[in-house]
Structure 1
Amino acid sequence: MAGPNLFQNGESVSLQATHTRLMEELCNYFLFTQTALTSPRIIDLANEEEVVYMCNAARPATHATPLGQVVGDMIRIMSHRILMDHPKFFRFIPSPVDENSCLGNMITAMYNVRSWILGSGACTVQDTLIQWFAEQAGLPSSAGGIFVSGGSIANLTAILTARDAKLHFEQRHKAVIYVSEQTHSSIAKALIKPTSLLQEIEKDKKSGLVPFMVVATCGITNTGGIGELKALADISQSENL
């Protein structure tokens, strides 16, 4: 059984009409999930039949598929999820969906701005906001950065930045990062977790390793706890990390 076809009887429609119909469908769905207290289900896991259907739908077809059918398949496939924007949804880490953020994502995708030369306007706004965040955190005017898609990519960016700033290429195989038990999993995987930072740094140096980075946590994923940021910053500065 295929998903619903938004355009019946093989009707030919313009790109604008396609977008309008899709936006209406998405808006209706969003409004329904915001007001429905009993349905749809908060957790909708695909059964075996649906998994088979989705696998078949994901394989490239040997012929052109009507756009309405493609959109209908997408709606059916996306219905199997945890409904984080449901009024009765109160747990799990990701935040509920906000209609304004959905519009923001759509605008970002449509304009496809990726660098200053491709979109100086958006980059100016990004730089201004980053400067504002730096001011709120008490960082110097020289502080900078970029917005990324989420915490995992942000952590990876920070690690690469610290690596390139503190390590020579031939030192990388001996590099050490210090994390806590509550550090985000994107960093904590395969990394040591010391109980006493200074002792661990000294021990690692004696072993011929090269400490280069300390990961301080400001807002633990599960509890919101904040580490001893100033003390960790002082140690990092004194040890040139």
Structure 2
Amino acid sequence: MSLLAPRSHLLNGLNAEAYRRCIAEGADRVAARLAAVEGPFTGITPDRLAPTVDAVDLDRPLHDASAALDELEETYLRDAVYFHHPRYLAHLNCPVVIPAVLGEAVLSAVNSSLDTWDQSAGATLIERRLIDWTAGRVGLGPAADGVFTSGGTQSNLEALLLAREESKSAEDLSKLRVFASEASHFSVQKSAKLLGLSAEAVVSVPCDRNKRMRTVSLAHELEKCVREGFTPMAIVATAGTTDFGSIDPLPEIAELAARHDTWLHVDAAYGCGLLVSLKNRHLLDGIERADSVTVDYHKSFFQPVSSSALLVRDRTTLRHATYHADYLNPRRTVEERIPNQVDKSLQTTRRFDALKLWMTLRVLGAEGIGALFDEVCELASDGWRLLALDPRFDVVVEPQLSTLVFRYIPERVTDPAEMDRANLHARKALFASGDAIVAGTKAGGRHYLKFTLLNPETTTADIAAVLDLIAGHAEQYLGDSLVRAS
């Protein structure tokens, strides 16, 4: 093969026109697929799709982007899970706004790396400006700072790293304790393990009937911790739990954190959309007292994955994530006031994910994003009323954000285990049909279904139709079960 062939695919000034044509064709293919999608999924199984993917000979290139796109139709695009469809109701995956996708195309082509100034230039300043903007929305004060991350799990990990290093007992990790509600994200436990804390380090605090941390229980656990000679390292309050969208009582938790001189981290990966809400910003009152905050723009700001950040009240605490390398960010760059984002990050090479949010704000504005998030929260309230009035279903809590957890209750079945099996089957059958996708979780040890509503195009009619589908699949299972039993 001539060396000219592969070089003709490098993105540079010589190949700018080829780049434009290739990207335009890719955009045309995706646009056509988006317009043609009839459901969120085709229902294809791994066993059916795997042979198509396995048949691709990666050592025999096609030498043609159009041919590669044709192949991609079969291996990916035709059977992808499409979050933009109004009956995708499963996980915390939002449809994305066009300005953010434009930003994604630009950042991928330029390919800046956000670790150092000499790899990014203006990209560094844009990220820093967005961190300041978000910290201002939170209310963290003039000393605040932060950095974009890969997602909530990384943000929570770095927040707890800072909390550990700021703790008075950082030298004796066995003494440290982290307090989080029983509905908090699993990344709290995962982070504790990665940070070398003991298996007992994370204290699970009970929730009330609305799945919010009980502050009376938190106060009790904090006092017990001190009484037994341990050190409260951090309290993790959640502003939007993954399962229920519940928001812990932030002002009361902040009071307890201050009383015990304990780092307060607020995991607002989901609830950060309230920062731009036109109606419900008050639900985050108290977040301004946090020492650190996790935000996931790719959950409730309608951004493509990934676009997230960790914010801190005191920028000096980020020094705990700083390491200097002579080839990258030598100490002299600090004296020269060169802004290197790697000094704040757990990552080194890092994408310019901030550009997506920047483009969104410059086109839609904060109020535009907030209006979209308010729509899905209102939709969840409408969905809750539908469920509460429908005798076929049991709904767990009235939503604060946009999540509904419920379960089908067959009229003629009293065995909870059989109800579990009916709900599990309904979810699986619905996914296999491709008509809709819902999530599942557990509440009180029993299996429940979950709607995570993040698409403003979803309607109450969609919700009602999916509920009917769920009931139909559950009844089909129960009918077949009776036949099998006889």
**Residue number among 40, 43, 59 corresponding to 1:42 in the alignment:** 40
SS in 2 for 1:170: coil
Deviation at 1:113, TM superposition (A): 2.5
Match of 2:272 in 1: none
Match of 2:153 in 1: 152
Match of 1:78 in 2: 76
2:224 matched to 1:203? yes
After TM superposition, where is structure 1 displaced by more than 6 Å over at least 4 residues in a row? none
Deviation at 1:87, TM superposition (A): 4.8
Structure 1 residues 29 and 207 mapped into 2: Cα distance closer, same or farther (>3 Å)? farther
| Counterpart Cα distance in 2 of 1:231 and 1:28 | 52
| Counterpart Cα distance in 2 of 1:33 and 1:167 | 56
| Counterpart Cα distance in 2 of 1:86 and 1:33 | 12
Structure 1 residues 169 and 12 mapped into 2: Cα distance closer, same or farther (>3 Å)? closer
Structure 1 residues 51 and 163 mapped into 2: Cα distance closer, same or farther (>3 Å)? same
Deviation at 1:70, TM superposition (A): 5.0
SS in 1 for 2:101: helix
Equivalent pair of 1:179/1:188 in contact (CA under 8 Å): no
Normalising to structure 2: TM-score of the pair? Answer: 0.41
Match of 1:95 in 2: 94
**Residue number among 220, 223, 237 corresponding to 2:241 in the alignment:** 220
Unaligned segments of structure 1, at least 5 residues: 1-10
Query: Which amino acid in 2 is paired with 1:53?
Result: T
Equivalent pair of 2:170/2:176 in contact (CA under 8 Å): no
Deviation at 1:217, TM superposition (A): 1.2
Higher relative contact order (CA 8 A, sep 6+): 2
Deviation at 1:184, TM superposition (A): 2.0
SS in 2 for 1:199: helix
Structure 1 residues 48 and 156 mapped into 2: Cα distance closer, same or farther (>3 Å)? same
Deviation at 1:178, TM superposition (A): 0.7
Deviation at 1:130, TM superposition (A): 1.6
Equivalent pair of 2:238/2:247 in contact (CA under 8 Å): yes
Deviation at 1:49, TM superposition (A): 4.2
Query: Which amino acid in 2 is paired with 1:113?
Result: S
Query: Which amino acid in 2 is paired with 1:128?
Result: R
| Counterpart Cα distance in 1 of 2:232 and 2:64 | 54
SS in 2 for 1:122: helix
Percent identical pairs in the alignment equals: 24
Query: Which amino acid in 1 is paired with 2:113?
Result: V
Match of 2:357 in 1: none
Match of 1:237 in 2: 258
Please identify which structure carries the higher strand content.
2
SS in 2 for 1:192: strand
Structure 1 residues 21 and 87 mapped into 2: Cα distance closer, same or farther (>3 Å)? farther
2:205 matched to 1:194? yes
Query: Which amino acid in 1 is paired with 2:185?
Result: H
| Counterpart Cα distance in 1 of 2:41 and 2:237 | 34
Deviation at 1:102, TM superposition (A): 2.3
| Counterpart Cα distance in 2 of 1:226 and 1:167 | 29
Match of 2:350 in 1: none
- 1:14-38 Cα offsets, whole Å, 9 max, x none, are 43465445423432233234433xx
Match of 2:27 in 1: 27
SS in 2 for 1:198: helix
Deviation at 1:143, TM superposition (A): 0.8
Structure 1 residues 142 and 12 mapped into 2: Cα distance closer, same or farther (>3 Å)? closer
Match of 2:453 in 1: none
Query: Which amino acid in 2 is paired with 1:192?
Result: V
Deviation at 1:75, TM superposition (A): 4.5
Equivalent pair of 2:177/2:233 in contact (CA under 8 Å): yes
Query: Which amino acid in 2 is paired with 1:156?
Result: L
Structure 1 residues 147 and 52 mapped into 2: Cα distance closer, same or farther (>3 Å)? same
Match of 2:167 in 1: 166
SS in 2 for 1:193: strand
Equivalent pair of 1:217/1:226 in contact (CA under 8 Å): yes
Deviation at 1:72, TM superposition (A): 4.7
- 1:24-83 Cα offsets, whole Å, 9 max, x none, are 3432233234433xx4542133442421332454x863x656353555544433323311
| Counterpart Cα distance in 2 of 1:83 and 1:213 | 38
Equivalent pair of 1:171/1:210 in contact (CA under 8 Å): no
2:134 matched to 1:133? yes
Alignment length (residue pairs) = 227
Structure 1 residues 237 and 49 mapped into 2: Cα distance closer, same or farther (>3 Å)? same
| Counterpart Cα distance in 1 of 2:58 and 2:46 | 22
Normalising to structure 1: TM-score of the pair? Answer: 0.77
Q: How much is the aligned-residue C-alpha RMSD, in angstroms?
A: 3.0
